[in-house]
Structure 1
Amino acid sequence: MNKAWWKEAVVYQVYWRSFFDSNGDGVGDLDGLIMKLDYIKDLGVDVIWLNPMFQSPDKDNGYDISDYYQVMEKAGDMKVVERLINEVHQRGMKLIMDLVVNHTSNQHPWFIESKSSKDNPKRDWYIWKDGVDGKEPNNWRSYFHPTPWEYDQTTNQYYFHSFAVEQPDLNWKNPEVRHEIYQMMRFWLNKGIDGFRMDVINLLAKLEGFPDTETPYNLSYLGNNPGIHEYLQEMNREVLSAYDILTVGEIPFVTPEDGLLYVGENRNELNTLFHFEVADDMKTWDMITFKQIQKRWYEGLNGQGWNSQFLNNHDHTRQVTRYGNDHIYRVQSAKLLATMIHTLPGTPYIYQGEEIGMTGVKFNHIEDYNDIAMKNKYLEEVAKGKDSTQVLKDLQLLSRDNSRTPMQWDNSENAGFSVGKPWIKVNPNYVDINVEADLNSHDSIFKYYKKLIALRKEHDVMVYGDYEDLLEHDDKLYVYSRTLNDITWIIMLNHSDDEVELRLNDMYAQKENTLIITNYADVNEEESLVQIRLRPHEARIYQI
């Protein structure tokens, strides 16, 4: 395994519209991010991942881009972006941006031309098909809609959209499209950004012929299709290989074997990836399943490719609510999850607010939600005659808005996020859970994160160490080792609300050990490692 700066990095994700509002319009912006860069720097992270801030009608919070070379007015302008890049670099950090090239907005000039007529030069820049027997071209679904096909009366054909109707998919089979995208990527890299998080990058290649499927609700037919690796290898040759950058692909529907094809060090495609065997497939915490996922991915990539570690982001409910205990053990649970993410193999990602233990929300009315995927699903289910209250309840846990509420800076109005009315409601618990309160607490989650990140910079074993699960079949305890040369770290996590006794192999009794970090302040550092009682959501790391 080769060493690389991006393997050793810790990434902090900024969902800018919910981070900090500098001008009082209720929407976070890039000036607000610049004002808070010292806060991020103090945490110790190396890379900031910025969600899309390109020109957009904002139907899907910026993931519907109408101009790749302009900045959304809500976010700022190009001068602010240039200043942001400079300010990030001045603080010794790097900046990566979202690359959204599976689709554009339906208001992008390319699409407006494409739909104008069948013989327009840009017609083939998108995917157009005739209907079949007066219906859609096939029986597929989209992520946000019961069908991925939208009928256009002007040309009497359907266009394809993997997501919202307003997000038509680009036709990557067309070399002109690919050339245009590569040119845009070079533009931003030459501006000084340090890489890309690539939105649903494995969806670029479509199944030849668009055949009907027997399982339309299993959307895996949208991704990993023949041609995808040729596209990414071409992208690497044409653009990526010329820059020392971080590339991380958002890649659903993959096994470790598939994943290695994207990130294998001999493949010349991407540096690393997000897979979704946890975030998409594990609705609530399942210890045994999680252990199995970690083992398979470690064994599948070990020595050949690189993984990412995350439990929440702008699309997935906050980790302490979904996978931890956000009530009486919120602080301990938040620290335990942090310990786990920062010590498992791969690059750790922190989603804004996670470092103070922010929780998910449950709004009482569908009107309080902005998530287009959730709102469309709500309408679809209610139209079937289902009880609207139950439908809302069923959709709440996995709503993307759970993680999109404004950053909670202090206990003043709107959590110190904005002096105006926020674009989405603030979580009511901001009065107690906020940055100011956490930093003043003797039990600060932020300071625990800061210590974990500092340890990762000081100890290569956290980054490059071999991984072994020491208690594969325990459904409460997650105990594993990381070993590099003659150094072994034992990570002990009691991921439950109960006190649990941990018994390790006697071999550890004969070895000297040092307590590296713990999320409980009163741990007896002389305690034998052979028999330990771990309190609810207790986390410890020992060096053997």
Structure 2
Amino acid sequence: MMENDFRKMVGYQIYPKSFKDTNGDGIGDLQGIIEKLPYIQQLGVDFIWINPIYKSPQVDGGYDISDYYAIDERFGSLEDFKTLLHKSHEYGLKVIMDLVVNHTSDQHPWFLESKKSKDNPYRDFYLWEDATAQQLPNEWRSFFGGSAWTYDKETEQAYFHAFAKEQPDLNWKNPKVRQEIYKMVRWWLELGVDGFRLDAISHLQKMPWSYKIKSWRGDGPWVPFMNVSGIEDYMTELKAIFDSYGALTVGEASGVRSMQAPDWTDEKGYVNMIFELEHNVRKANGRGSIYGYKKVIMRWQNDLLARGWNALYLENHDQPRSIDVFGNGSLASAKALAVSYMLLRGTPFIYQGQELGMRNFPFTSSDQLRSEEVIAQYENLLTDLSAQEALQKVTQDSREHARTPMQWSDKANAGFTTGRPWMDIHPNYPQVNAEKQTELFELYQKLIQLRHDNQAIASGSIYFYFERHPQVLVYTRDEFLVIVNLGTKKAHLDFSKVEAFTDGSVSNYHSVLSSQPRPFERSMSLAPFEYQVYKK
């Protein structure tokens, strides 16, 4: 196990199905990741996070696991994965996997046994309750829409699922379930995995089934299974295993608020860091709010300043591309966004293609959709909307945008595959690809190097200025000053009215990174998407 100094690290997220295909079947594979390790090393990151590669029916992109110990044949073999681990470590890269332990696939042997009868030894591995087809245990809803219960007429009970009906939740109150999960976690760590991203980890504990949902707005419908009291017992047990291996851990912990996050991520916390899910809230038109993004980021940074640690990101496999959500599709906006988050206090993650400025896909037909959840939403919308309107609505802020294949070159299929890609490739790949789009890539290299070379950025303090400005983010990291205009309009800043900038020391600021180099001035007019990084 390599040294775990996560405060200096930068991660790179890989959605393997869309990363690089080497056998011509149109689906990315482990050999493709191995092939591109030099590219990842060149970027300068410290670890890679690989989305699920376990055996799975792929109802939910691999987050429905049917065998925790097997690699899905779509991606290769366990031997391929061992090679990937070995090669990654040779390149100085850690490897973390998705750990999906809130639920399994309904094709997992545990669930297949569990369904057989009420007295099956595996029945209590899942959450079964008496029910009828008309009367389910309660009114709770799943994240994917519809009831969180699916009725089984053979045993006259229903099972609980926070996500799709093909993803039954495990019963964490059962010690045998926990023993099996912990055994599996140790197995992967013994194999050489460096850590985990803990999927949906805040849902392990549920409220009593009698809990009545008080609000159907916002997070209200999911309160009964988000960060419920008692989860700390399970997380403490998991932490003991992680700590014994020095594992790098990041939690996807919806329902954990910024004020609660220090308890999850400080020295006594369960994981090294958690992803916040708040800054991705979007308007009705699918666009993100720059001021909303800024407010959420500042709050999380401030609430975790005394203790705890942030996981920083702009986009991932579940979010549309940031260049179109928060930017205006231009390379300039992608650069400004990169500077805005890469120098914050926390561990940044870069999602594949983000470093190239890959954009949201221009969907023209429902045939281009691949997610079963999105397809179901589209079909439901057809009752009230035209096909074109339904497609526009369902893809407005869809996860499908992030899952189009990686654009490696201007050759056929963007160099992703020699076969037919499992999902259509963005038509802009002749211009936007890893061979041609080096400008943004090089900026990310510089930002990563700043983190590696400067303790102030790796783990120093942070203080925000002009907090109410609608489009400019300004903060200091000890001796560094970061100024980013995230808007499409010019912006003016008057530092002469800010006490911290009224003494003579500000004249010592010199530019270390800039979209248009110029000296620091107490009165500054910023061009759209201009960024300036100064150091005393």
Q: TM-score, normalised by structure 1?
A: 0.93
Q: Which position in structure 1 is the counterpart of 2:229? A: 226
Alignment of 1:141-156 (within 5 A): 141-156=141-156
Q: Distance in 2 between matches of 1:292 and 1:376?
A: 34
Alignment of 1:105-120 (within 5 A): 105-120=105-120
Other structure's SS at 2:462 match? strand
Alignment of 1:51-90 (within 5 A): 51-90=51-90
1:461 aligns with 2:456: yes
1:245 aligns with 2:214: no
Other structure's SS at 1:419 match? coil
Q: Distance in 1 between matches of 2:58 and 2:224?
A: 27
Q: Which position in structure 1 is the counterpart of 2:262? A: 260
Q: Post-superposition shift, 1:381?
A: 3.4
Q: Which position in structure 2 is the counterpart of 1:313? A: 316
Q: Distance in 2 between matches of 1:38 and 1:4?
A: 22
Q: Which position in structure 2 is the counterpart of 1:270? A: 271
Q: Distance in 2 between matches of 1:202 and 1:280?
A: 19
**Counterpart of 2:488 in structure 1: which amino acid?**
D
Other structure's SS at 1:466 match? coil
Alignment of 1:459-538 (within 5 A): 459-483=454-478, 488-505=479-496, 507=502, 510=505, 511-520=507-516, 523-524=517-518, 527-538=519-530
Kept in 1, the 8 Å contact 2:282–2:288? The answer is: no
Kept in 2, the 8 Å contact 1:509–1:529? The answer is: no
Specify every segment of 5 or more residues in structure 2 that has no aligned partner in the other structure, as ranges: none
Specify every segment of 5 or more residues in structure 1 that has no aligned partner in the other structure, as ranges: none
Q: Which position in structure 1 is the counterpart of 2:206? A: 206
**Counterpart of 1:147 in structure 2: which amino acid?**
S
1:140 aligns with 2:143: no
Moved more, 217-226 or 113-122: 217-226
**Counterpart of 2:458 in structure 1: which amino acid?**
V
Give a deviation string over 1:393-441, Cα, whole Å, max 9, x none: 22212211110000001111111100111111001111111111113xx
Q: Which position in structure 2 is the counterpart of 1:400? A: 399
Kept in 2, the 8 Å contact 1:145–1:376? The answer is: no
Q: Distance in 2 between matches of 1:194 and 1:133?
A: 45
Other structure's SS at 1:437 match? coil
Other structure's SS at 1:428 match? coil
Q: Distance in 1 between matches of 2:142 and 2:504?
A: 56
Alignment of 1:84-483 (within 5 A): 84-131=84-131, 134-216=134-216, 218=220, 219-237=222-240, 239-267=241-269, 269-280=270-281, 284-326=287-329, 330-383=330-383, 385-439=384-438, 444-483=439-478
Q: Post-superposition shift, 1:222?
A: 2.3
**Counterpart of 2:530 in structure 1: which amino acid?**
E
Kept in 2, the 8 Å contact 1:501–1:533? The answer is: yes
Q: Post-superposition shift, 1:374?
A: 1.8
Q: Post-superposition shift, 1:514?
A: 1.2
Q: Distance in 2 between matches of 1:224 and 1:425?
A: 37
Other structure's SS at 1:469 match? strand
Q: Post-superposition shift, 1:303?
A: 2.8
Q: Post-superposition shift, 1:323?
A: 1.0
Moved more, 113-122 or 269-278: 269-278
**Counterpart of 1:103 in structure 2: which amino acid?**
H
**Counterpart of 2:278 in structure 1: which amino acid?**
E
Kept in 1, the 8 Å contact 2:12–2:45? The answer is: yes
Q: Structure 1 pair 42/197, CA: closer, same or farther in 2 (3 Å)?
A: same
Q: Which position in structure 2 is the counterpart of 1:539? A: 531
Give a deviation string over 1:280-326, Cα, whole Å, max 9, x none: 46753323333322232223222321111111000001111111120
Kept in 2, the 8 Å contact 1:309–1:347? The answer is: yes
Q: Structure 1 pair 406/62, CA: closer, same or farther in 2 (3 Å)?
A: same
Q: Distance in 2 between matches of 1:405 and 1:9?
A: 27
Give a deviation string over 1:35-84, Cα, whole Å, max 9, x none: 00000000000010000100111111111100000110011000000000
Q: Post-superposition shift, 1:391?
A: 2.8
Other structure's SS at 1:515 match? strand
Q: Distance in 2 between matches of 1:263 and 1:281?
A: 27
Kept in 1, the 8 Å contact 2:282–2:289? The answer is: no
Other structure's SS at 1:391 match? helix
Other structure's SS at 1:414 match? helix
Give a deviation string over 1:130-149, Cα, whole Å, max 9, x none: 22683222111111131111
Give a deviation string over 1:311-366, Cα, whole Å, max 9, x none: 1000001111111120xxx2111111111111111110000000011111131222
Other structure's SS at 1:181 match? helix
Q: Post-superposition shift, 1:232?
A: 0.3
Q: Distance in 2 between matches of 1:253 and 1:278?
A: 14
Kept in 2, the 8 Å contact 1:371–1:399? The answer is: no
Q: Distance in 1 between matches of 2:253 and 2:71?
A: 26
**Counterpart of 2:10 in structure 1: which amino acid?**
V
Q: Distance in 1 between matches of 2:121 and 2:133?
A: 28
Moved more, 277-286 or 29-38: 277-286
Q: Post-superposition shift, 1:209?
A: 2.4
Q: Post-superposition shift, 1:532?
A: 2.3
Q: Post-superposition shift, 1:376?
A: 2.3
Give a deviation string over 1:186-207, Cα, whole Å, max 9, x none: 0000010110000010001111
Give a deviation string over 1:101-134, Cα, whole Å, max 9, x none: 1110100000000001010000010011122683
Q: Once superposed, what is the RMSD of the aligned Cα atoms?
A: 1.7
Moved more, 49-58 or 142-151: 142-151
Q: Structure 1 pair 453/77, CA: closer, same or farther in 2 (3 Å)?
A: same
**Counterpart of 1:536 in structure 2: which amino acid?**
P
Q: Structure 1 pair 210/410, CA: closer, same or farther in 2 (3 Å)?
A: farther
Other structure's SS at 2:155 match? coil
Q: Structure 1 pair 182/138, CA: closer, same or farther in 2 (3 Å)?
A: same
Other structure's SS at 2:533 match? strand
Kept in 2, the 8 Å contact 1:126–1:159? The answer is: yes
Q: Distance in 2 between matches of 1:4 and 1:87?
A: 19
Kept in 1, the 8 Å contact 2:4–2:247? The answer is: no
Q: Distance in 2 between matches of 1:132 and 1:9?
A: 52
Other structure's SS at 1:316 match? coil
The percent identity for this pair of structures is 39
Q: Post-superposition shift, 1:489?
A: 0.9
Other structure's SS at 2:169 match? coil
Moved more, 473-482 or 506-515: 506-515
Q: Distance in 2 between matches of 1:8 and 1:434?
A: 28
Count of residue pairs brought into register by the alignment = 524
Q: Which position in structure 1 is the counterpart of 2:17? A: 17
